[in-house]
Amino acid sequence: MQLTPEQITQFRDEGWLFLPELFTPEEVALLRREAEAIYAEQRPEVWREKSGAPRTAFAAHLYNEAFRLLGAHPRMIRPVEQIFDEPVYMHQFKINAKSAFVGEVWQWHQDYGTWKRDDGMPQPRAMNIAVFLDEVMPINGPLLLVPKSHMAGDLQASHDVQTTSYPLWTLDNDTVARLVDAGGIVAATGKPGGMLMFHGNLVHGSAGNITPYPRKIVYLTLNAVSNYIRTPTRPEYIAHRDFAPIVPVADDALLHEARRFAAAAE
């Protein structure tokens, strides 16, 4: 899995890139089932909204085989290695839920701001890559991206610990308005199996979901090995301390796991 020169140029210019339906329906069906099973568990890695609905499940690649394979999948790892021109390790792994009717907002923010302030990451040489497990539509709380905002660098932010169940370093309205005036807003929508990549400094957020349609997305935060975190303050299941480069699995490993799972269920 390699990005084309045109895709790399788009990523560098816009700060994001979407690859539609990169994973097959079989692969996505397995991941969706496993995500639902994880959300049903009572464990510290599963964080919930104030309503009790799941918000995010951390570190699933450490206790679930399907997500272990996804976390080392070449379709996710190789493009980021291309961008950074060096191996990467897993800084964070999470499955974000935007539950039907009750999924809460994610405020406007930059991811690198949190990685720097809470984890001691030296440079924005990490990025989120995301696989859609459900169809992400304009109506069910899609991720909203501000194109070109990554060029603004690391912006001043405030630590919001009140708005939602997840503390976040958020941007003020004036800053967001200025960046949107320059770059606009794009809703990252697509079918299950699509993969989104976006720069660590790209400004983004999402509204709540009041529709009957859930929206689950798996996020891998991949960090260049030379950029390992220096002063982590969060639990290890949120900010990992294993800085070993990821060794990708075979491209068909997840598909084999899906078929093994299906055969066992018969």
Which residue ranges make up each domain of the chain? 5-265
User: 49 CB contacts (<8 Å, ≥6 apart)?
Assistant: 55, 99, 102, 103, 104, 164, 165
What type of residue sits at position 99? S
The CATH number that domain 5-265 falls under is 2.60.120.620
C-alpha closest to that of 143 among 129, 154, 157: 129
Give pLDDT tens digits for 216-266. Answer: 999 999 999 999 999 999 999 999 999 999 999 999 999 999 998 888 876
Beta-bridge partner residues of 103? 209
Number of helices (H), then strands (E), belonging to the chain: the values are 7, 13
pLDDT at 190 over 80: yes
pLDDT at 167 over 80: no
pTM of the model as a whole = 0.94
Q: Give mean pLDDT, residues 11-34.
A: 97
Q: Give mean pLDDT, residues 155-162.
A: 81
